[in-house]
Structure 1
Amino acid sequence: MAGVLKPGIKNIIFDLGDVIIPIDLRAPIRNFASLSGMSEEAVESLWKEHGLTMHYETGLIDDAGFRQHVRDLLKNDSWADEVIDTAWNTVLLDLPVERVDRIRELHGKYRLFLLSNTSAIHIQGVNKIFMALGQPSLEELFERVYYSYEVKMAKPSPEIYRHVLTTSGLVAEETLFLDDNPHNIRSAAELGIHAVQVQPPLSILDYLRDESTNEDIPHSS
């Protein structure tokens, strides 16, 4: 496939889940179902009905509020914070260290940023995984990190992309954005960002090939 590092690209914005670290979005549902004795369908229905993930990932509730909402919805006041955090972080799978190595190789050649719909508990979990493998934290790996729960906006809202461009002084046409979600890609592309969907089994190792390639960037439609 064509590489995406082309002349004119000065900045790269990375998504986190399934771009840098693989994730299993169903794992927390399975684990909370097991802990509560409810079915996965019942847990998922409660999550969606109360917008729990969206509220947490856009900073409408904090860590303590999220944990208490989980206890209330799943009717178990005895769960310690660690029990909830561990179940919530089962979304995170093993880190392919070679992806981090590739990002580190790009330092000095491009300005590197992270933009993720995420929560504080997940970020703490990711950084623990990174550090256990001798890797820098996300905050050390990138010039600047943008977490939805901190900026109180989430992809695919155009406002979050404008926020990143404005606060970091980026030109859309000089910026490459890598994300696994087609809705996020479409929204970024509409602002003139070179938005590329990372689609398994390919990874950023396939997309971020040597910039000397002469093939065209695979723009999203």
Structure 2
Amino acid sequence: MIKNLIFDFGDIFINLDKGVVLRGIEKFGGTNVSHELQETNDLYEVGDLSSEEFISRLQTTFPKASPEEIIAIWNSMLLDFPDYRLNFIENLSREGNYRLFLLSNTNALHIPHFIEKVGQKKYERFKNCFEQFYLSHEIRLRKPTPEVFNFVLDENGLVATETLFIDDSKDNTEAAKALGIHTWNLLVGKEDITDLKSKL
């Protein structure tokens, strides 16, 4: 029986444009250095790089872009946060049938931009739906490492077999599944988080 729900954030609640960074590289005269970019992103998402260090590293990827333009490119992957999804998670929280948690790989630039984009009130409404709101750069752990899932389970006394984890990344759901957690690898564009009750 599922008692606990752990949600990803990007492309689960907020829509993303994951191709915008690569388009930005092309626009500003860079080359496709996907391995180095991924490594830099991973370090930033666990707080091992400051925002200043992150932007400095990206200046080699975007040689013709100013720091301000790099930040704009990086943040432009965050699109809209539909109200119907906020209403859905608020209703789920009010029903009180499950313990709700958020677990997001994110960074110190994206969260302030998201708050600015949707407004502090909407952000607080969203955040208040969850018992815990785990952001990778704050807890210094990121998916799909087993450590991050064990951290969430252990800190909250959750049983893996009583927990469902929802994420759009197959790597992340497979890592959770290996620990005995139930998973839903949500197919973006074909499924929506509002379909959740059909998966329970």
TM-score interval for Structure 1 and Structure 2 normalised by the shorter chain: 0.7 to 0.9
**Residues paired across the two proteins, number:** 195
RMSD across aligned positions (CA): 2.1
State the distance in 1 between where 2:25 and 2:55 align.
Answer: 12
Tell me the residue number matched to 1:98. 84
Q: Is the 8 A contact 1:28 1:89 kept in 2?
A: no
State the distance in 2 between where 1:174 and 1:148 align.
Answer: 23
Q: Is it true that 1:163 corresponds to 2:146 in the alignment?
A: no
Distance of aligned partners of 1:140 and 1:64 in 2 relative to their CA distance in 1, 3 Å threshold: farther
Tell me the residue number matched to 1:26. 19
Counterparts of residues 1-221 of structure 1 (less than 5 Å): 8-34=1-27, 36-38=28-30, 42=31, 44-45=32-33, 47-49=34-36, 51-75=39-63, 79-80=66-67, 82-107=68-93, 108-131=96-119, 135-137=122-124, 138-200=126-188, 201-209=190-198, 217=200
Supply the AA of the counterpart residue of 1:199.
L
Deviation at 1:75?
Answer: 3.2
Q: Which structure's relative contact order is higher, taking Cα pairs within 8 Å and 6+ residues apart? A: 1
Identical aligned residues as a percent: 36
Supply the AA of the counterpart residue of 2:89.
I
Q: Is the 8 A contact 1:113 1:145 kept in 2?
A: yes
Q: Which runs of 5+ in 2 are unaligned?
A: none
Distance of aligned partners of 1:145 and 1:71 in 2 relative to their CA distance in 1, 3 Å threshold: same
Q: Is the 8 A contact 1:11 1:176 kept in 2?
A: yes
Deviation at 1:37?
Answer: 2.8
Supply the AA of the counterpart residue of 2:11.
D
State the distance in 2 between where 1:94 and 1:106 align.
Answer: 21
Deviation at 1:199?
Answer: 0.9
State the distance in 1 between where 2:155 and 2:127 align.
Answer: 16
SS at match of 1:100: helix
Deviation at 1:32?
Answer: 4.0
Deviations 1:106-151 (A, max 9, x none): 113322111111111112222223327x523353332211122222
Supply the AA of the counterpart residue of 1:150.
E
Supply the AA of the counterpart residue of 1:163.
F
State the distance in 2 between where 1:121 and 1:127 align.
Answer: 11
State the distance in 1 between where 2:171 and 2:62 align.
Answer: 31
Runs of 4+ off more than 4 Å: none
Supply the AA of the counterpart residue of 2:35.
K
SS at match of 1:167: helix
State the distance in 2 between where 1:71 and 1:186 align.
Answer: 34
Distance of aligned partners of 1:71 and 1:14 in 2 relative to their CA distance in 1, 3 Å threshold: same
Q: Is the 8 A contact 2:62 2:70 kept in 1?
A: no
Deviations 1:50-100 (A, max 9, x none): 521112112220111111212244335x824x4322210111122221111
Deviations 1:6-27 (A, max 9, x none): xx32211100111111111111
